[in-house]
Structures are given as C-alpha cells and as structure tokens.
C-alpha cells in the first residue's frame, strides 16, 4: 500500500503544484485505488502515473470548494472510456455534492456507462470499505469540511510451520485449518493454535484532513492517535497562526505543536500556498527536522503493515 499525491497546492495552482488530489494505492491488497479529492485537471495528472481510472472504485471528497472538486466531472466522464464501463463507483462527500454533480451532468448532457452512487456523509459517520473502517471526521473550515480516517483490519499472524513440523505435522490442508481453529490434535495430543501463530499484524491507519483550522480537542486527537500516516494542510508556513486561523486554515509550526504527542509515524504537509517559493519550502523543510514532510506533486509514500 502507498499514498500518492497528485496535487499538493492550495486554492491557486502554480506551475509546480496542482490543486489537491490524493490516491491510496491498495491494488495489491484490494485491487483498487481510493481517490481523495479531485482538484482541477485530475485526469491529466493521472496520465503521468500508472493509475488506472477503472480501478478507482471509491472517491472521498473532503469539502466542496472548487480546488477540491473541479476535476471530478471530467474524471467521471473520462473513466467511462478508460475501462470503467460497467464497474460501479461510489463517491462520498458533504451535502450538496449530489445536486452539484447531477446539475453538471444534466446541463452538459453527459452520461456514464457505469453505476454511480453518491453518498452524502455526516460527522462521525462510519463506512465499511474493503477491510477498512472509515470514520468521517468533522473539521472547521467555514463551509462543511471533513477528514477521513481509514483503519484497516488487523491480520492474523503468520503460521509458524517450523514449529508444526517439530510436533510431526506435515504440510497439507490442515495448515490452513489451524489458523481458523482454537485447537488441533496431533497423535492424540491437543494443541492451542495460538501457540503456532506469529504476532498479529496491525492494520494500517491513514488520516487525511480536508481544509481546516487546527483542533486541539482531546477527543479529536484520540481519534487520529497512532496513525501510520497523518495528512494535514498547512496553507501557511511561516509562523502566521493568527492569519491562518482567520482564513480557516492551518500553519505548519502550529500543526507540529498540536500533534507532538499523538504518536504518528508519518506527517505529510499539503495544501501549500502558491506564494511560497522553492527557497521558502527548502527553508521550512530544514526546520521540520524529520518531524514532517512537505509534499510535492507525485510524491509517493509506502505504508507497510506493522507487527503488534
């Protein structure tokens, strides 16, 4: 599994940063890509990757500002001609998403050749997707804005076949049965299956925020605590906390202060204002000292499984 940034910029795109779109690549695990937000020119960005639109089967929209949705109608239309025929697609997002898309398709006389389901979400809604529980996280951004916490199911540990051979059990179908049974018998001796199974492999946890002011509420921090990856905006990079708050956005140093005790593995900073130069980014990145990474377009981050 890996996380890919197709657009790392804020509302106004630049030559180097497109507006926001992300992909969780879980093709190896679940044969699909999960798209989060759909900035303008999304379908053009995808052309520079190995991502197949037909394998995008679920889309999550954080909020309805244009820099997060203007690429959606074009992508949906193109998907119909890029192997997507007959392959269902679900879109999750705030209230108003259905009306906007239906109006867009009606006025442009666009049609799709695959089933499309639009699900308008609410705060703290729970969604079951593949082997993920998805939690809808309310944010503060002037208009309704959400984050999404993707928590993968834990996976039973590996069967320790060397230990099974030591007790005289040869490889065969019984090996598979042991993992789903509490006990098994060899030569009239009863064994506990758990004694022959390795440590549980912890499911990955990915927290992706839409645009938001920072939140220091303990309930919120507990929800995102122990994430393998936290993706958070920092439209402001240079100690402009008050200005960021006034504009319903976040500032990078404030993000680090708020998150210093939540035990995340990776913190990815996105939604970077176009007013910052490459030199500004280098300067701020040096000050982060490994606590976070400022994303750039086509940035990729592997997200491995973890043993408990």
DSSP H helical segments within 194-288, as ranges? 218-224, 241-246, 252-259, 278-288
* DSSP element (H, E) containing 11: none
How buried is residue 165: exposed, middle or buried, by Cβ count under 10 Å (0-12/13-18/19+)? exposed
In angstroms, the CA 231 to CA 73 distance is 25
**DSSP-assigned states of every residue in 104-116:** HHHHHT---SS-E
DSSP H helical segments within 95-183, as ranges? 97-108, 161-166, 173-180
Give the annotated binding-site residues: 63, 65, 67-68, 141, 211, 271
Read off the tokens for 290: 């490994």
Give the annotated binding-site residues for Zn(2+): 63, 65, 67-68, 141, 211, 271
- Among 25, 37, 67, 228, the active-site one is 67
Q: Is 67 a catalytic residue?
A: yes
In angstroms, the CA 51 to CA 33 distance is 8
> Which DSSP symbol is given to 130?
T
In angstroms, the CA 91 to CA 93 distance is 7
- Beta strand pairing status for 32-36 and 56-60? parallel
How buried is residue 116: exposed, middle or buried, by Cβ count under 10 Å (0-12/13-18/19+)? middle
Read off the tokens for 179: 């993992």
Paired residues of 4 in beta bridges: 23, 300
Question: Which residues participate in catalysis according to the annotation?
Answer: 67
């Amino acid at each position: 599994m890996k996380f890919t940034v197709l657009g790392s910029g804020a509302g106004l795109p630049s030559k180097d940063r497109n507006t926001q779109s992300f992909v969780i690549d879980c093709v190896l695990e679940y044969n699909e890509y999960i798209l989060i937000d759909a900035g303008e020119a999304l379908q053009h960005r995808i052309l520079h990757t190995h991502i197949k639109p037909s394998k995008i089967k679920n889309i999550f929209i954080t909020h309805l500002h244009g820099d997060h949705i203007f690429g959606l109608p074009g992508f949906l239309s193109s998907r119909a001609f890029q192997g997507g025929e007959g392959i269902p697609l679900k879109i999750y997002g705030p209230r108003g998403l259905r009306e906007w898309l239906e109006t867009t398709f009606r006025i442009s006389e666009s049609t799709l050749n695959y089933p499309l389901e639009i699900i308008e979400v609410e705060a703290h809604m729970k969604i079951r997707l593949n082997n993920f529980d998805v939690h809808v996280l309310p944010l503060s951004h002037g208009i309704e804005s959400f984050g999404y916490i993707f928590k993968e199911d834990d996976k039973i540990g590996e069967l320790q076949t060397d230990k099974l051979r030591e007790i005289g059990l040869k490889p065969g179908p019984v090996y598979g049965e042991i993992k789903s049974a509490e006990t098994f018998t060899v030569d009239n001796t009863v064994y506990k299956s758990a004694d022959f199974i390795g440590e549980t492999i912890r499911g990955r946890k990915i927290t992706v925020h839409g645009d938001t002011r920072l939140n220091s509420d303990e309930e919120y921090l507990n929800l995102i605590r122990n994430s393998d990856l936290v993706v958070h905006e920092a439209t402001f990079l240079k100690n402009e906390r008050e200005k960021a708050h006034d504009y319903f956005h976040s500032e990078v140093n404030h993000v680090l202060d708020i998150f210093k005790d939540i035990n995340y593995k990776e913190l990815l900073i996105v939604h970077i204002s176009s007013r910052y130069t490459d030199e500004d980014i280098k300067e701020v990145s040096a000050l982060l000292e490994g606590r976070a990474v400022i994303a750039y377009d086509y940035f990729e981050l592997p997200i491995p499984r973890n043993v408990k």
